[in-house]
Structure 1
Amino acid sequence: MLDIEKATRLAQRFLDEEVSHEGMPFALVEGEHAQVGSTFYFDCQSVAYLRSGDIRDMAIGTGYVCVNGETGKCRMLGAVESAKLDLF
């Protein structure tokens, strides 16, 4: 089973390699994480929005990064799926 530190590193690597697009890199939102059973969830947002707070920089329609605590596999949840979880 992963610990929160390892899950955090995997989630950020997933954002860097699979989610961030040229012109819109993503980052984890500091302090916004939860563990439910063996699954870790992390809130994320565009780096530009996290720096500026300007709504024009906000990534819309994204959800949480989900890390399977047993396998380390990461995936991005959709906004609706994340809203149903209501973790943050």
Structure 2
Amino acid sequence: MNAPSSRSETEAAALADALAAQGIPADVHDGYGLALVSVWAGLVVWCHGGRYWWRSAWDARRQRVIYAWHPSSDPAQAAYRVALRYA
């Protein structure tokens, strides 16, 4: 990967590296002020504003997505949580 061009991309790259350490490949995409870590079909982590967030569940009663989030200052723990979702 080329050198990160934004803070969000730096955060995304840190998460992708932490996921790789757990044997989970991921791609980083940056643009329009935020970055994405593509982990698996249906599992994308957004990175912006010092946070990672990803879809964690579906609320059938309210007909809406529930998101989990984690501070980007701790990419290793965020990667652990994303890995649980990946499993």
**TMscore range, shorter length:** 0.3 to 0.5
Report which of the two has the higher share of strand: 2
Report which of the two has the higher share of helix: 1
Give the TM-score normalised by structure 1: 0.41
Give the TM-score normalised by structure 2: 0.41
